[in-house]
Amino acid sequence: MANEMQLKYGCNPNQKPSRVFMADGSDLPITVLSGRPGYINLLDALNSWQLVKELKEATGMAAAASFKHVSPAGAAIGLPLSDVLKKIYYTGKEELTPLACAYARARGADRMSSYGDFVALSDICDLSTAKMIHREVSDGVIAPGYTDEALALLRDKRKGSYNVIQIDPNYKPDPIERKQVFGVTFEQGRNEIHLDESILTNLVTENKTLTENQKRDLLIALITLKYTQSNSVCYVKDGQAIGIGAGQQSRIHCTRLAGNKADIWWLRQHPKVLALPFKKGLKRPDRDNTIDVYISDDYMDVLADGIWENFFTEKPEPLSREEKRAWLEQLTDVALGSDAFFPFGDNIERAHRSGVTCIAQPGGSIRDDNVIETCNKYGIAMVFNGIRLFHH
C-alpha cells in the first residue's frame, strides 16, 4: 500500500492535478489490482463500500451495490432469484452464489441507471459473481478480496483497464471528516449512527405490525439512503432496492421519481415484456433501452415511426395503459424509507400506488397528522425513527 495515489484528473478533464492521499501519513486502505481509477470512481467506491459493509452487518447476508455519480442505482442482499428475476437480470442458467445473487439484484433493479456503474461487494468476490460483472458495462469494482479465478477474469475485462480495487475490511476512518469547498474547509463528525431493528419500534399508525421481512426491507432502505445524495427516498422489496430517488430538491418529486423506477422494475416482469420477440444477438443495453421505451407511453409513437424493425423480429402488441395499471395493482409488500420527514400526505398517496405497505421516516413535520392519516387510509404501517439521514 502507499500513502497517496495520483489520478488521471478530477471530476472533469480540466481539473488537474488530482490525487487521493492520507493526511496523517498512513497508508491508503485500498489497493488497485487492475486499471487506473479516477476521482469519481473512488468517490463511488468508498461510498458504496460503506453501504454494503453496513448491509452485511445489519442482515448477516452478502450484499452488493451499483453506484453512479456517488449515489446507488441499486443495493441488495443475496436472496435467491426467482426464474422471472433470472430472466430480466440476464443471469443465465448457472447456479449463483449468494454474493452473485446480491450483485444481480443490485445491478438489475435499475439497469438504465446502472449502465457504466461502479460495483461494491461485501464479501470476497467469487468466480460466480465475477462472471456476471465481466459481461456488464461497468467502470470498476471494490471488494475486501478476490479469489484467484475471479481476479484473473476481472483483470481481463476491458483489455485490462477495468478498475479492480481491494479494500482493507478492518480499516476504520478518523471520527472527524473534512472537505474543502471554494477554499473553505468543512469539518464534521462522521455519520456513525448504527441502524438496526431498535429504530423501528415507534409505530405511529393504526397498523402497528411489522413482519420480519418488512423490518429487513426497511433497514435496507434506510442504510441505502445513508449513502444517497439528498433529498432521497428508497423503495425496497424482497431484500433489494427497486426504486431510488436521489438529489431532488422536492420530497414529492423524489418520491415520484423513485416510485416510477419501482413501477418500471415491476413492469419488466409483465408477461408481454418477457415475451418480446427480440432479434437474435441484440446486446443487453439495447434490450434494456428498448424495454424502457416499450413500457413508456411513447411506444405508440415509436411504432408509428417503424423503429421497432431494428430490435424485434415482428411488431409487438403494445402494452396498454389499462394493462399496465392492472399489472401495477399486483405490486405489494413494498417498504419505503425516507432520509427526512414527509411534509405532506401526497407522498403517501404516491407511495401507495407502487405497493408500499410500510414506511420508515424521521417524523417531525408540522403536518405529521396528515401524513399519519393518509397512511391509516390505506392500512400502511409507519415508523417514526427520529433519524435524519442527509448525505452530501
Residue keyed to cell 487506473: 36
Rounded (5°) CA angle 355-105-34: 150
> Do residues 260 and 248 make contact, with C-beta atoms less than 8 angstroms apart?
no
Active-site entry in 69, 215, 272, 391: 69
> Do residues 73 and 57 make contact, with C-beta atoms less than 8 angstroms apart?
no
Helices (H), 94-199: 98-108, 111-114, 127-134, 148-155
Q: Annotated catalytic, 93?
A: no
Active-site entry in 68, 131, 157, 261: 68
Active-site entry in 231, 237, 270, 352: 231
> Do residues 348 and 324 make contact, with C-beta atoms less than 8 angstroms apart?
no
With a CB cutoff of 8 Å and minimum separation 6, the contacts of 133 are 103, 119, 125, 141, 154, 157
The Cα-based distances of 63 to 224, 324, 365 in angstroms read 11, 31, 33
Q: Annotated catalytic, 231?
A: yes
Nearest CA to 52 among 44, 377, 149?
44
Spatial distance between the Cα atoms of 47 and 360, rounded to a whole number of angstroms: 22
Q: Annotated catalytic, 392?
A: yes
- Report DSSP state, residue 278: B
Nearest CA to 218 among 372, 209, 49, 368?
209
Spatial distance between the Cα atoms of 164 and 134, rounded to a whole number of angstroms: 12
Q: Annotated catalytic, 391?
A: no
Interaxial angle between packed helices 98-108 and 127-134, expressed in degrees from 0 to 180 and rounded to the nearest 10: 20
> Do residues 210 and 200 make contact, with C-beta atoms less than 8 angstroms apart?
yes
φ, ψ at 142 (rounded to 5°): -125, 135
Q: Hey, which residues does 165 pair with through a beta bridge?
A: 32, 142
Q: Which residues are catalytic?
A: 68-69, 231, 392
